[in-house]
Structure 1
């Protein structure tokens, strides 16, 4: 079964529901700011745990498009 048409329709509906004022760049910026805030102010033990989770691939690193965590 080819779902190409249904997927295109679904995506169009999602974009329509977001409305004309939706700004994807601002949304990504806000997401990165929230991520940085979530992992800011860690004590030494929390920072070590965070670093281990990043190294294990559980959490994303601070690469392109990702705000610094500390």
Structure 2
């Protein structure tokens, strides 16, 4: 039974190492997201993306 705890601790280390790597990757991802957020707060540069509603095209049937 003395071998079980040593085996369990050696298995725990890689798991902890994997968790640390994932945590670091998540922190990098969050840092990149924060850099992009400032652009979302700015007003849109596109004014009046669509033409006036009154200028819509009317389709009529052919009469001939």
* Structure ranking higher on relative contact order (CA contacts 8 Å, 6+ apart): 1
Look at both structures and tell me which one has the larger radius of gyration over its CA atoms.
2
Mark yes or no: TM-score above 0.5: no
TM-score, normalised to structure 2, is 0.32
